[in-house]
Structure 1
Amino acid sequence: MTNGPRTARRVPAGAAVLREDVTDAIRAAVFEELAAVGFARMSIEGIARRAGVGKTAVYRRWKSKLALVLDLVSVFAAQGLPAPATGSLYGDVRALLQVASAALRHPVASQVIPDLLVESARNPEIADTIRATLLDGQQGIAAVIVRDAVARGELREGTDPDTALDVIVGPLYWRLAVVRGPLPKGYLDQLAASAVAALRHG
């Protein structure tokens, strides 16, 4: 074994070093561009302009605007919160509604999410990514809520988590993403109580 001088690892000649701060700036610009013009009118040129970089910086990271948006959805979904564990079905449902409400009322997300859902009807790649990231994550949370409620005796064995998710989040999505109306005082409390009653009734 020798104790000769150590040599620093060198980046292979010609390899591009992608700065993380530039990547973050581009992702932020995509959110802004989606909110401003929608997916159909979004362009790499507009994204680069908002991010303060050249188009080349964008294309080094993503081959197209579709690849960029799919990556963004995946990154967003990876930041999801764990399932609530309040100790009661009502508490878990209320906590889930609080998180979903905050996400749907976010000034950028409120514009981006509906637009991506519309595009997913035309583009199978977007539909598959949304299903595999956003939807699967929400279904996982619903499954945990139902499992814990069954274990506590609050719900019957065999309660369907997918139906539970529809009952819990469906009315909130309708109000915030479709109707786009404000939430009256106490709305989330009332919605949580109604969802729990419906799930218990079966």
Structure 2
Amino acid sequence: MTTEPTANPRRAPAGAAVLREDVTDAIRAAVFAELAAVGFARMSIEGIARRAGVGKTAVYRRWKSKLSLVLDLVSAFATQGLPAPATGSLYGDVRALLEVASHALRHPVASQVIPDLLVEAARHPEISETIKATLLDPQQGVVAQVVRDAVARGDLPAGTDPDRALDLVVGPLYWRLNVVRTPLPKGYLDDLATAAVAALKSS
């Protein structure tokens, strides 16, 4: 009677690091807290590690620098994206876009982290490129779709500039929530949608 050999369990390659997800999450949370507390320029890997309750090695196993850490944070926020509305009318699409954008701009990453990064972008081209690729380009794509739908319905003239539409629709909202930082009065989004639609139609 022969006995078949027992298969050896598969093992991870020698020396391979198994990164614990809870530690990664703690570091990401610490990056956000550190950014909000001291800003990008004064933020350090030491401060992040201390806030996360881990050693510096745990941070460097996951990210090579504080810049790569911050860019990862922005990219993770950006993956939530802005859905392209399809309400059947230009006013409805603009109003729906403003509703979603108002919630996104109140997110702590948008309200506390990104304004600081915009200042740093002048000194760090990587930050500028990441913000453009992960935040601005998707927004431009959504607004461009709204414009295309409006042109197809006859709500806007052919040749309407999507970039100008983005400025008219989201620009005032960003200024109000992230620069002036004042609460939105009742009916503000309705009034802004009406004004943006009127400006687009008159362009």
Judge same fold: TM > 0.5, yes or no: yes
Asked if the contact 1:32–1:108 (Cα under 8 Å) also holds between the matched residues in 2, the reply is no
Matches within 5 A, 1:163-202: 163-202=164-203
The answer for the alignment partner of 1:116 in structure 2 is 117
The answer for the alignment partner of 1:83 in structure 2 is 84
Normalised to the residue count of structure 1, the TM-score between the two structures is 0.92
Q: Report the count of equivalent residues.
A: 200
1:106 positional shift: 2.8
Radius of gyration: which is bigger?
Answer: 2
State, as a whole percentage, how many aligned pairs show the same letter. 81
The answer for the alignment partner of 1:68 in structure 2 is 69
The answer to whether the aligner puts 1:132 opposite 2:133 as a matched pair is: yes
The answer for the alignment partner of 2:49 in structure 1 is 48
Equivalent position SS for 2:76: helix
Normalised to the residue count of structure 2, the TM-score between the two structures is 0.92
1:200 positional shift: 1.0
Q: CA offsets per residue over residues 22-55 of structure 1, 9 Å max, x none?
A: 1122112211111111111111122112222211
Opposite residue 102 of structure 2, the aligned amino acid is: S
* Distance in 1 (alpha carbons) for counterparts of 2:165 and 2:109: 27
Matches within 5 A, 1:143-154: 143-154=144-155
Q: CA offsets per residue over residues 49-88 of structure 1, 9 Å max, x none?
A: 2222211111000011001111111121122132112221
1:108 positional shift: 4.8
1:8 positional shift: 3.5
The gaps in structure 2 that reach 5 residues or longer are none
* Distance in 2 (alpha carbons) for counterparts of 1:108 and 1:74: 11
- The RMSD of aligned alpha carbons is 1.6
Opposite residue 156 of structure 1, the aligned amino acid is: P
* Distance in 1 (alpha carbons) for counterparts of 2:187 and 2:6: 69
Opposite residue 145 of structure 2, the aligned amino acid is: V
Q: CA offsets per residue over residues 107-165 of structure 1, 9 Å max, x none?
A: 45311111011111221110011011101111111111111111111111111111110
